[in-house]
Amino acid sequence: MKPTGFLEFERLDNIAFEPMERIKTYREFHAPLSDEKRREQASRCMNCGIPFCQSGAVLGGMASGCPLGNYCPEWNELIYNGLWDEAADRLLLTSSFPEFTSRVCPALCEKACTNGLDGKAVTVKENEFAIIERAFETGYIRPCPPKERTGKKVAVIGSGPSGLACAHMLNKFGHTVTVYEKEDRPGGLLMYGIPNMKLEKDIVMRRIHLMEAEGVEFITCCDVGKSISADEIVSGYDAVVLACGAGEPRDIKAEGRDADGIYFAVDFLKATTKALLDTNMNDGGYVSAKYKNVVIIGGGDTGNDCVATSIRHGCKSVVQLEMMPEPPKCRTEKNPWPEWPKVLKTDYGQEEAIAVFGHDPRIYQTTVKRFIKDESGKLSGVETVKLSFESGKPEEIKGSEEIIPAELVLIAAGFLGAKKYIADAFGTEMTPRTCIKTDAGKYDTSSDKVFTAGDMHRGQSLVVWAVREGRECAMQVNSFLGGGV
């Protein structure tokens, strides 16, 4: 490692296309650095004695560092020395799908980087992206099916990040793996929950095709528990993994909720992605924001994705409601490094809204009081009310009501837990949070030879956590089956 790299080079991020240019398409919009510049960025890594970036420790109720335990300093050094294949080997020891996490992860590694204590963190996420994309481009990533099979069969229900990670590892152990997916394309959240601007779908399919070449079978358009019985699955396999995600969106209970024009964010985003893939948006079979005043309920990543997607549709205006107060711009004393920084972040969708409409779309400490509909039952507006947190809990401020015009409302208020019909079909117990119940640190359910992983197990979370759970679940299933070859 270059000992003085962090002193010689300033942080340099991949260049993002200007908002007014990138909103013309649904493509990813960052240009990678040259190899020379990327090596300079890797040299900024200090190779700390205690690399918080890879710790994955829970501090202040949130993860600090990579939950996968990625060996960030080691592959930073390998990049600096131009040893790209070796860097890929080191990265793939802990991460099943760096091409996903390097695009959609909020970079917990960087928030815990020692360089970030007094300056700017190392570009760990973009370094990871450079490693894996170079490995694919050069052909270093290629199908590596197991040399022997164990004769054991495993069904993985759900092809999101946890299901894919679990299937990926179980296949490497030599087990025969079949992945069931209810949608028409595999990928789960990666395919239909994350917009193309953050993760283009040919990247997802590139991994699916690689896994198929390694022996994993994918069966789509199969809703287990409905189109095929759980009994048939359980009797046909030596183990079953439920990785169906947290599929129950949190609703908004307010007067006028039955108005025509109110959708869950996940349905809106899915419809857009499917229309893009099927007909390049030419079939009109999606929920359109064009020429509409859009109100998005929820200030998180999904809400931001809805902002960006609505702008690309050609919306008339967009407002994003957030019930919590606006976060501080810098860390407070109660939120020290290396805790996750609870600070204001302006994401790509909000940047685009500022460019298009001249202001940030977010309105803080605000919630919906009622939905307004016209005589035909169509949505025409939203009545909001401001909230006070002086008592420690949200309370409406009388007289702060406001009417916002809206022909489209997108509810991005998070998810409650797993779909109950799947738990019922497999006879698995559920937690009070409507997740599939297991013992702490375990993945086996109350039903014989049935395991679970990902959001279905831990509740709504990040892709990186889903991958970790899938990998850990695979190791427990492998042990249950007597070990791989």
- Give the pLDDT mean for 378-394: 95
Name 192's Cβ contacts closer than 8 Å, sequence gap at least 6.
183, 185, 266, 269, 270, 273, 274
pLDDT band at 172 (very low <50, low <70, confident <90, very high): very high
Count up the domains in the chain and report the number. 3
Does residue 485 or residue 100 have the better pLDDT?
A: 100
Report the SS3 class of residue 309.
helix
Q: Is the pLDDT of residue 33 over 70?
A: yes
**Encoding tokens for residue 195?**
């917009």
- Residue 144 lies inside a defined structural domain of this protein: no
For residues 91 and 31, is the Cβ–Cβ distance under 8 A? no
- Give the pLDDT mean for 48-70: 91
pLDDT band at 197 (very low <50, low <70, confident <90, very high): very high
- Residue 31 lies inside a defined structural domain of this protein: yes
Q: Is the pLDDT of residue 304 over 80?
A: yes
Identity (one letter) of the amino acid at 72? C
Task: State whether 318 and 463 are in the same domain.
Answer: no
Name 386's Cβ contacts closer than 8 Å, sequence gap at least 6.
365, 366, 396, 397, 400
Q: Is the pLDDT of residue 392 over 90?
A: no
- Residue 293 lies inside a defined structural domain of this protein: yes
- Residue 26 lies inside a defined structural domain of this protein: yes
Cα separation, 339 vs 239, whole angstroms: 38
Task: State whether 221 and 311 are in the same domain.
Answer: no
Task: State whether 318 and 374 are in the same domain.
Answer: yes
Range of the domain at 327: 251-413
Task: State whether 207 and 312 are in the same domain.
Answer: no
Percent with pLDDT over 70 in the chain: 100
pLDDT value at position 1? 74
Task: State whether 276 and 196 are in the same domain.
Answer: no
Its pTM stands at: 0.96
420-426's contacts with Cβ under 8 Å and 24+ in sequence apart are 420/248, 421/225, 421/226, 422/157, 422/224, 422/225, 422/242, 422/244, 422/456, 424/225, 425/224, 425/225, 425/229, 425/230, 426/225, 426/230, 426/234, 426/240, 426/242, 426/450
CATH number at 409 reads 3.50.50.60
Cα separation, 53 vs 114, whole angstroms: 8
pLDDT band at 3 (very low <50, low <70, confident <90, very high): confident
- Residue 485 lies inside a defined structural domain of this protein: no
Task: State whether 398 and 279 are in the same domain.
Answer: yes
Using the Cα atoms of residue 28, residue 34, residue 40 and residue 42 in order, give the sign of their dihedral.
positive
The residue from 393, 413, 433 where one domain ends is 413
Q: Is the pLDDT of residue 485 over 90?
A: no
Using alpha carbons, select from 54, 134, 47, 39 the residue that is nearest to residue 89: 134
Task: State whether 343 and 422 are in the same domain.
Answer: no
Mean pLDDT of the chain: 96
pLDDT value at position 2? 85
Q: Tens digits of per-residue pLDDT, 314-371? A: 999 999 999 999 999 999 999 999 999 999 999 999 999 999 999 999 999 999 999 9
- Give the pLDDT mean for 381-391: 96
Task: State whether 427 and 368 are in the same domain.
Answer: no
The residue from 413, 445, 460 where one domain ends is 413
Q: Tens digits of per-residue pLDDT, 395-432? A: 999 999 999 999 999 999 999 889 999 999 999 999 99
